[in-house]
Amino acid sequence: MGSLTFDNDDENNSYFVTNPLDPKEFRRQGHMIIDFIADYYENIERYQVLSQVEPNYLRKLLPESAPYSPESIETILQDVQKYIIPGITHWQSPKYFAYFPSSGSIAGFLGEMLSTGFNVVGFNWMSSPAATELECIVMDWLGEMLKLPKSFLFSGNGGGVLQGTTCEAILCTLTAARDQMLSQVGREKMEKLVVYGSDQTHSAIQKAAKISGINPMNFRAVKTTKSTSFGLCPKSLRDVVQADAQAGLVPFFLCATVGTTSTNAIDPIGPLCEVAKDYSIWVHVDAAYAGSACICPEFRHFIDGIEGANSFTLNAHKWFFTTLDCCCLWVKDPGTLIKSLSTNPAYLRNKATDSKQVVDYKDWQITLSRRFRAMKLWLVLRSYGVANLRFFLRSHVKMAKLFEELVRLDNRFEVVAPRKFALVCFRVLPKPNVKKVYENDEKALDLERVNKLNQKLLDSINRSGHVYMCPTVVDGEYIIRCAIGATLTEERHVIMAWKVVQEHADALLSRY
Amino acid sequence: MGSLTFDNDDENNSYFVTNPLDPKEFRRQGHMIIDFIADYYENIERYQVLSQVEPNYLRKLLPESAPYSPESIETILQDVQKYIIPGITHWQSPKYFAYFPSSGSIAGFLGEMLSTGFNVVGFNWMSSPAATELECIVMDWLGEMLKLPKSFLFSGNGGGVLQGTTCEAILCTLTAARDQMLSQVGREKMEKLVVYGSDQTHSAIQKAAKISGINPMNFRAVKTTKSTSFGLCPKSLRDVVQADAQAGLVPFFLCATVGTTSTNAIDPIGPLCEVAKDYSIWVHVDAAYAGSACICPEFRHFIDGIEGANSFTLNAHKWFFTTLDCCCLWVKDPGTLIKSLSTNPAYLRNKATDSKQVVDYKDWQITLSRRFRAMKLWLVLRSYGVANLRFFLRSHVKMAKLFEELVRLDNRFEVVAPRKFALVCFRVLPKPNVKKVYENDEKALDLERVNKLNQKLLDSINRSGHVYMCPTVVDGEYIIRCAIGATLTEERHVIMAWKVVQEHADALLSRY
């Protein structure tokens, strides 16, 4: 290597006497951090749920470069407390009602620790058989809990896989569907492929289409209306698909949603699959949030018709007590995924793969390396059991019902979209303006005024740090979303949240 | 909701009295799991490093369905010990020499725990400012440690992002490069786009090209030879690119590798960038494994010329003591990523984004949801400091040198490719056959015989459970790879590993 240059450095230095994975030291520091996190949960209500820091706050507080010499865990934890926690938006806070929940649990946490502790890279069966096999098993378990058709389970020649997020899962299924269609119509039709969703479908689908090379002109966000509670109307879909097909385009992928992000709208899976079938369109059902609820018999009907779909996802890291990230994807025909996503370099060849007796999950996903995610889902399923998981979900729905009732009792407010799970969409709608009959221009002006009022109300609520809710815009209306499901949330927090909303509305409306 | 049906279920059940994130219970179970994992590390040498289970071993041991009622953590941990650990390939074992290391550390583990404990979803700045800001800071820190040109750092209008794996990172840069090129040459040239790598480039690049819709015919794996130690020759690249351009194709992306998976070959970045520049080709440098070593001045020259590239990755979860997953991606022009990957749905709009003063990492990657990965990298950098990180890496290189010397001392073996970092590629090459001069057919026959012998040797070594190494095939030769870098590995393990190889060779050659 010739002469070596060392800058301020000595090859023979050995500041560190302990191995960085020394079990004794691991034990000492590990216990310390458990107490740190337990303390955090104990004190979590004291923190402002939405962080109130200014952009670039942290640059001013941390050194410009990494330290040359080691620092103690005690020092680092002090800095976490002093510098990081104020910059965190506390998703685990019982006063967190924004986006969708990121519902942690002890079981999910322990599972993540075990997976981190083993730190295996489970790209294929061989690289850690237990990681693959446990994943197959828990995906069948959860599939059964959801009463998915057997065709989605390993026992029925389908199968499930744990990916990071729905974005990845959709990109995988979309790629598989694309290649399947291209193999039928010829690669020269690439620019003619068309993807469908509704105007309420998550942005993940449009992004996935773009990444996978679909012509951005060929993404259809079919319009929904209040009359179907913003669900995708099968007739509207058929019209759009028909027009495309007649224009020489090639429809190939539909993302139907059960529980949209904005208002939890439901696309009717069965009838949509009927339309899709006529055009050999791959149907992916995205139940990222609401899918969890379908383990309760009373909610299962929302995914009726799923037997007509090709793939199905739910995020266990949203409303299923499994820490981020853990997206459950089931497909009817894993072969299509494998055809699009498999690789077989020399350094990964092995007897187990050659025997075709095993699942190699690297061929079911974008990435090669993969964590042992099944561990946390297994711990969640076992630690709580079907009974308690249903109980937890129902308790959130019950609290959402309570919040909804409180909104309805105050006639300055309206519930904007029908509540189905644990998300309540509402807005303040000062009475005098509601009753008036407007000309079109005035109506638009009034909508803008009401939107601004709601925006102000939400800003004011969130700035208080007492609760955190999120907005959305549907059909031009600015709406406040209250998503209940943070694990620590109890009835008292929901009542408090409503009081906060009312107080801020009082203050705002007195000046309106 | 009409009449509800309950199957074997009672809406009012409440087996569970404790909240699933109850701090007291968290503390109790958390301490228990720390001890469990510490015990695992203490006993890790006792386990067979490569799991010896048969396909489908776990189905036979676990119940067919998820439990209806909760199970205790004590029961679950017993099952982890009894059913999971035997099915794990112990990547953290000091006797693990396969693939590349998955080098865990206490700091990495603690960082993952904090990140799991906070469980924030950091898609944009707003959703948890500390998660974004700490990531910007540690990426600048690490970029500086690597002496990356300022153009790759936030301070120089570039920037870094933590993704899951190199596969994701390459897909992102490839998509950005694709869209950039298409905006210049027109979308109708989509089918003409060409991607370049060498025949040693990781399969991730071919997979990314396929996912992003590049015509599979347009992936060029430029041939390498032993004469350049399997590095990509700039002249060969220029020839291939030129031929493509003359044929009306559109070259747009090159993946150059520093430290290939098979043999740690080095593509000469500077000269390759010169070629790429003439054709406006985006150059991505994949230093997944070897990049870490470049924090040591004596290894930095391997990435000389990086200033000519567009993007650079290294996996902190490989050889940088940060648990899976943690891929560091730096880009010179984040705007190109953002142009391809941004989305802006109503439910994510916020003032901070509108102010353009903040980074929204969702627009730098495939997925929307993202974990607080910066926490673990920050803890690694601070807990060990530049000094010890260099010390650890050098100690692995030193042990690899020792292993290499041991191989060279035994004249039945040969070191196949020059060792540069901590990977030794070798094979057994029985003497009598080497000296003979062959006709071509005999040579081929002999190669096959030698390959089979090495395959047998490796199988026999790995079946012993005492060490785990991996094969590769380069230029038709079956090679055994010994990758040193598991955190717990000490000199004695390396000496033991060599003894195991020798013993199995003795047994095998006596029958040869």
- What pLDDT sits at residue B444? 65
Does A33 sit within 8 Å of B110, measured CB to CB? Answer: yes
For an interface test with A, give the residue of B89, B263, B474 to mutate (most A CBs within 10 A). B89
Q: Is residue B139 part of a domain?
A: yes
What confidence tens digit (pLDDT) does each residue in B273-300 have?
Answer: 999 999 999 999 999 999 999 999 999 9
Residue A70's alpha-carbon distances to A67, A75, B196, in angstroms, are 7, 11, 41
Q: What is the rounded average pLDDT of the residues A66-91?
A: 98
Q: Which of B315, B338, B371 is the last residue of a domain?
A: B371
Residues of A with Cβ-Cβ distance to B14 under 8 angstroms: 391
Chain B residues within an 8 Å CB radius of A42 = 23
Tokens of B139: 């990426």
CA distance B407 to chain A (A): 20
Distance separating alpha carbons of residues B249 and B251, to the nearest angstrom = 6
What CATH number does residue B401 fall under?
3.90.1150.10
Residue B415 CA to residue B409 CA, distance in Å, equals 10
Average of per-residue pLDDT across A258-265 = 97
Judge whether B385 is closer than 8 Å to chain A, CB to CB.
yes
Residues in B closer than 8 angstroms to A69, CB to CB, are: 385, 387-388
- Answer whether residue A138 is part of any domain: yes
Q: Could you read off the pLDDT of B424-450 as tens digits, one per residue?
A: 999 999 865 444 445 556 666 689 999
| Closest residue of chain A to B475, computed from CA coordinates | A346
Compute the C-alpha angle A155/A160/A161, nearest 5°: 145
User: Least CA distance to B13: which residue of chain A?
Assistant: A391
User: Quick one: pLDDT at residue B441?
Assistant: 61
User: pLDDT band at B347, cuts 50/70/90?
Assistant: confident
Reply yes or no on whether the pLDDT at B373 is more than 70.
Answer: yes
- pLDDT band at residue A441 under the 50/70/90 scheme: low
Determine how β-strand B250-257 pairs with β-strand B477-483. unpaired
Please report, in angstroms and rounded to a whole number, the separation of the first and last CA atoms in chain B: 76
Q: Tokens 């396929």 belong to which residue?
A: B210
Which among B80, B315, B388 has CB closest to A16?
A: B388
Residue A183 burial class via C-beta count within 10 angstroms: exposed 0-12, middle 13-18, buried 19 and up: exposed
For residues B118 and A434, the model is more confident at B118
Phi, psi dihedral angles at B286 (to 5 degrees): -100, 105
- Say if the Cβ atoms of B20 and A106 lie within 8 Å: yes
| A185 close to B (CB below 8 A) | no
Share of chain A above pLDDT 70, in %: 94
Residues of chain B contacting residue A119, judged by C-beta atoms under 8 Å apart = 91-92, 102, 104, 323-324
**Is residue A390 domain-shared with residue A282, that is, in the same domain?**
no
Is there a contact between A102 and A327 (Cβ–Cβ < 8 Å)? no
Give B240→chain A minimum CA distance, Å: 23
Considering only residues B511 and B388, tell me which one the structure prediction assigns the higher pLDDT.
Answer: B388
**Residue that is last in its domain, among A343, A371, A399:** A371
What's the whole-number average pLDDT of chain B?
A: 94
Last residue of a domain, one of A311, A336, A371: A371
A423-429 average pLDDT score: 97
Residue A10 has pLDDT above 50, yes or no: no
pLDDT in tens, A89-111: 999 999 999 999 999 999 999 99
Residues B360 and B226 in one domain: yes
* Residue B1: closest C-alpha in chain A: A298
How many CB atoms within 10 Å of residue B66?
Answer: 22
Q: Are residues A366 and A443 in the same domain?
A: no
Report yes or no on A104 lying in a domain: no
* B125 & B188 share domain: yes
Does the beta-carbon distance from A394 to B11 stay under 8 Å?
Answer: yes
Give dist(CA A136, CA B455) in Å, integer: 30
**The pLDDT value given to residue B278:** 98
Segments in B6-80 forming alpha helices (H): 23-43, 73-79
On whether both B340 and B245 belong to a single domain, the answer is yes
A and B: number of Cβ contacts within 8 A: 526
Residue of B nearest to A364 (CA): B207
Q: Which of residues 403-462 of A touch B (CB under 8 A)?
A: none
Note whether A37 contacts B26, CB cutoff 8 Å.
yes
What are the chain B neighbours of A213 within 8 Å (beta carbons)?
178, 190, 212-214
> Residue B5's pLDDT band (boundaries 50, 70, 90)?
very low
Average pLDDT over residues B370-382: 98
Same domain, yes or no: B336 and B397: no
Question: Quick check: B247 pLDDT over 90?
Answer: yes
User: Which residue in chain B is spatially nearest to A114 when comparing CA positions?
Assistant: B37
Degrees, nearest 5: CA angle A437-A439-A444: 100
Give the contacts of A449 (CB within 8 A, at least 6 positions apart).
A433
Interface ipTM: 0.95
Which of B4, B61, B77, B84 has the highest number of chain A CBs within 10 A, making it the mutation to test binding with A? B84
- For residues A387 and A357, state if they share a domain: no
Report chain B residues whose CB lies below 8 A from the CB of A33: 110, 113-114
Domain for residue B64, yes or no? Answer: no
d(CA B342, CA B336): 10
| B482 and B357 co-located in one domain | no
Poorest-confidence range of A174-178, A499-503, B87-91, B353-357?
B353-357
Give the β-pairing of B423-428 and B477-483: antiparallel
* Mean pLDDT of the region A274-301: 98
> What pLDDT, in 10s, does the model give residues A468-491?
999 999 999 999 999 999 999 999
Q: Which of A3, A6, A8, A34 is best to mutate for the B interface (most B CBs within 10 A)?
A: A34
pLDDT exceeds 70 at position B230? yes
Query: Per the CB < 8 Å rule, is B207 touching A385?
Result: no
pLDDT of A346 reads: 82
CA dist., res. B207 & res. B170, Å (int): 10
Angle among Cα A371, B86, B91 to the nearest 5 degrees reads 45
Residue B226 belongs to some domain of the structure: yes
The confidence score (pLDDT) of residue A43 equals 97
Distance from CA of B145 to the nearest CA of A (A): 8
Task: Provide the pairing of β-strand A219-222 with A193-198.
Answer: parallel
Q: Among residues of chain B, what percentage have pLDDT more than 90?
A: 89
Residues of B in contact with A29 (CB under 8 A): 106, 110
Q: Which of residues 65-124 of B touch A (CB under 8 A)?
A: 65-71, 73, 75-76, 80, 83-92, 99, 102, 104-107, 109-110, 112-114, 116-121
DSSP letter at A84 equals I
User: Comparing A345-349, A428-432, B372-376, which segment has the lowest mean pLDDT?
Assistant: A428-432
In the predicted model, what is the mean pLDDT of residues B85-106? Answer: 97
Asked whether residue A15 carries a pLDDT value surpassing 80, the answer given is no
Q: Within an 8 Å CB–CB cutoff, is residue B313 touching chain A?
A: no
Closest Cβ–Cβ partner in A109, A117, A379 for B117: A109
From the candidates A32, A314, A317, A324, which should be mutated to test the interface with B, based on the most B CB atoms within 10 A? A324
Q: Per the CB < 8 Å rule, is B168 touching A366?
A: yes
If asked whether residues A130 and A159 sit together in one domain, one would say yes
Q: How many domains does chain A have?
A: 2
Q: Give the pLDDT of residue A131.
A: 98
Nearest-neighbour CA in chain A from B297: distance (Å): 6
A 36-55 residues inside an 8 A Cβ radius of B: 36-42, 51, 53, 55
Tell how many helices (H) and how many strands (E) occur in chain A. Answer: 15, 11
pLDDT-based confidence at A263, cuts 50/70/90?
very high
Is residue A152 located within the same domain as residue A228? yes
User: Chain B neighbours among A 218-257 (CB < 8 Å)?
Assistant: none
**Domain check: are B282 and B174 in the same one?**
yes
A454 is a domain residue = yes
A315 shares a domain with A419: no
The predicted-structure confidence for A307-347, as pLDDT tens digits, reads as follows: 999 999 999 999 999 999 999 999 999 999 999 999 988 88
For residue B129, the enclosing domain spans 121-371
Q: What is the CATH number of the domain that holds B294?
A: 3.40.640.10
Nearest of A50, A52, A172 to residue A469 by alpha carbon: A50
Q: Measured between alpha carbons, how far is B428 from B406 in angstroms, rounded to an integer?
A: 13
In a domain, B97, yes or no: no
Q: Which of A15, A57, A110 to mutate to test the interface with B (most CBs of B within 10 A)?
A: A110
Residue B110 lies in a domain: no
pLDDT of residue B14: 45
CB contact under 8 A, A384 and B51: no
pLDDT score for B439: 55
Instruction: State the average pLDDT over residues B410-421.
Output: 95
